Copies of this chain bind each other. A is one copy, B any other.
């Protein structure tokens, strides 16, 4: 359980940073930056816990996640004048959060004895929906619906997780390989504009 808690804290910090930069792109005030960082970091896990009925949600009972968000936001605000390109920092930390939170979400499903397909869905929800709520709140088009591969990396990472587990690889290497694959794959797909082959003909009139 120890390694999972560390993974969760790293993911929380990464998503707080991504959220803080998204809020600063929109010139929100300090409280707005904190609120968006909080929503980004805890929104996906909150949605997951509400869907499985684990309420009151964990951040109400244990303040440590809120403290992580607070520390990261203050750090971001402190170093923000050093950063030139907010959007690239956002994309970088969002990718890290994506990998770490997918692993956390998959474990939630396993702990409830849910089907692997649903466990992968819970990983994807945990990883993706904090960012969706962030983007909808800021009136941005959610990253998940943009051209580059996004949720697909979580599903792909989840498959790696279960295949390695079935092959008998121990828990910690499985977690590390799963999260590293997702982070690397997502970063590469942003960097090189990877996307799934299009299903639309160039000239197709869609409406």
Binding site for B on A (CB under 8 A): 24-33, 35-36, 46, 50-53, 55-57, 59-61, 63, 66, 77, 80-81, 84-87, 112, 114-115, 117-118, 121-122, 132, 136-139, 141-142, 144-145, 147, 149, 151-152, 155, 195-196, 198-201, 204-207
Structural contact, B201 and A31, CB atoms closer than 8 A: no
Structural contact, B145 and A28, CB atoms closer than 8 A: yes
With beta carbons under 8 angstroms apart, the residue of B30, B152, B207 that contacts A31 is B152
Structural contact, B29 and A196, CB atoms closer than 8 A: yes
Structural contact, B57 and A55, CB atoms closer than 8 A: no
Provide the residues of chain B in CB contact with A85, threshold 8 Å.
207
Structural contact, A151 and B35, CB atoms closer than 8 A: yes
Provide the residues of chain B in CB contact with A81, threshold 8 Å.
201, 204
With beta carbons under 8 angstroms apart, the residue of B25, B137, B199 that contacts A29 is B199
Provide the residues of chain B in CB contact with A142, threshold 8 Å.
137
Structural contact, B86 and A206, CB atoms closer than 8 A: yes
With beta carbons under 8 angstroms apart, the residue of B55, B61, B63, B117 that contacts A117 is B63
Structural contact, B136 and A31, CB atoms closer than 8 A: no
With beta carbons under 8 angstroms apart, the residue of B27, B35, B147, B198 that contacts A206 is B27
Instruction: Given the known inter-chain contacts A52-B60, A60-B52, please indicate yes or no for A117 contacting B29, CB distance below 8 A.
Output: no
Provide the residues of chain B in CB contact with A35, threshold 8 Å.
144, 151
